[in-house]
A = this chain, B = another copy of it.
Amino acid sequence: MRFGYIGLGIMGRPMTLNLLRAGFSGTVWARRAERMEPLVAEGAQRSASPAELAASVDVVFVNVSDTPDVEEVLFGAHGVIQGAKPGLVVVDHSTISPTATMRMADRLAEKGVDMLDAPVSGGEQGAISGTLTIMVGGKAPVLDKVRPLLEAEGKTITHVGDHGAGQMAKACNQLIIAQTMMGIAEAFTMAEAAGVDPARVREALMGGFAYSKVLEVHAERMLNRVYKPGFKARLHKKDMAIALQTAADLGLPVPGTALATQLINAAVGQGRGEEDSAVVAEVQRLLAPKA
């Protein structure tokens, strides 16, 4: 099975590398042509456009930033759909709108192209080590077909449901993390304001019901006040906007998600969008009482 990979950024590049190293032959394309070079050096073929790439492979991975970017590489003038033959599978690793995903899957299906939405969690480290969590929406037989490739990219592959269900799981992931971070940021600021060491509070909580991966990983960034990403606040902001829009489309109020989004928006507004989104703790600290 021959693969194509579109989008060779911080995530796409190591994921492509893992596919090549697992023995799959692949063709790559990126908007910035220089991004293809290191992968060509590892044995990948170069292509001139998503359309050309799609014509020569069995599976096309897409890993770009946002909904309009996915729409462009799939349906643009030189998009995947222009070169696709029936039976092609598109696997979208981008984090985008669940509802837009459902529309795209329908549009591809008209040309006999199968789509899986397959956003990931685990960050750059997970992409490099091939230990990503992959949340998949789409048809089970299609997932079965491409599973050997996904297994080269990630460790935990969960078929969540039909088209859009992978994106829905990712939206849930992001909004849960955001609210857990908000809670921990408030807790630490409150402890600090009372003269209690938040590091000791964290230690006391680690073994109990307040334990979370966020308390383990992100809370340490909050304590050290070092916010090397990890996952950038500006991308978390984008993902929270997706979650809020999805809830609004469904007619469901999500007050906690809305509130946590404000905190992330403020972090970006404070010029900290390139830092890990645990930097929301610094926004909460702006409101700490004067000594």
Q: Interface of A with B (CB < 8 Å)? A: 98, 121-123, 133, 135, 155-156, 158-162, 164-166, 168-169, 171-173, 175-180, 182-184, 186-191, 193-197, 200-201, 203-205, 207-215, 217-218, 243, 246-247, 250-257, 259-260, 263, 287-289
Specify which chain B residues have a CB less than 8 angstroms from the CB of A203 in the assembled complex: 158, 160
Q: Is the CB of A254 within 8 A of B217?
A: no
Q: Is the CB of A187 within 8 A of B172?
A: yes
Specify which chain B residues have a CB less than 8 angstroms from the CB of A246 in the assembled complex: 190, 194
Q: Is the CB of A179 within 8 A of B177?
A: no
- A182's nearest neighbour on chain B, judged by CB, is B256
Q: In the complex, A255 Cα to B179 Cα: how many Å? A: 11
The 9 A-B residue pairs with the shortest CB-CB distance in the complex, in nearest-first order: A179-B183, A212-B212, A172-B187, A158-B204, A251-B289, A121-B208, A133-B208, A182-B256, A176-B183
Specify which chain B residues have a CB less than 8 angstroms from the CB of A255 in the assembled complex: 186, 259
Q: In the complex, A24 Cα to B59 Cα: how many Å? A: 69
Copies in the complex: 2
Q: In the complex, A173 Cα to B208 Cα: how many Å? A: 8
Q: Is the CB of B122 within 8 A of A155?
A: no
Nearest CB of chain B from residue A28's CB, rounded to whole Å: 27
Q: Is the CB of B287 within 8 A of A252?
A: yes
Q: Is the CB of A177 within 8 A of B259?
A: no
Q: In the complex, A289 Cα to B249 Cα: how many Å? A: 10
Q: In the complex, A171 Cα to B200 Cα: how many Å? A: 14
Nearest CB of chain B from residue A99's CB, rounded to whole Å: 8
Specify which chain B residues have a CB less than 8 angstroms from the CB of A121 in the assembled complex: 205, 208-210
A-B contact pairs, 30 of them (CB 8 A): A121-B205, A122-B209, A133-B204, A133-B208, A135-B204, A135-B205, A160-B197, A160-B204, A164-B194, A165-B196, A168-B201, A169-B196, A169-B201, A172-B205, A173-B209, A176-B183, A176-B210, A178-B183, A179-B183, A180-B180, A183-B257, A183-B260, A186-B256, A190-B246, A190-B250, A193-B252, A194-B250, A209-B213, A252-B287, A256-B259
Specify which chain B residues have a CB less than 8 angstroms from the CB of A173 in the assembled complex: 204-205, 208-210
Most chain B CB within a 10 A radius of its CB, from A133, A168, A203, A208: A208
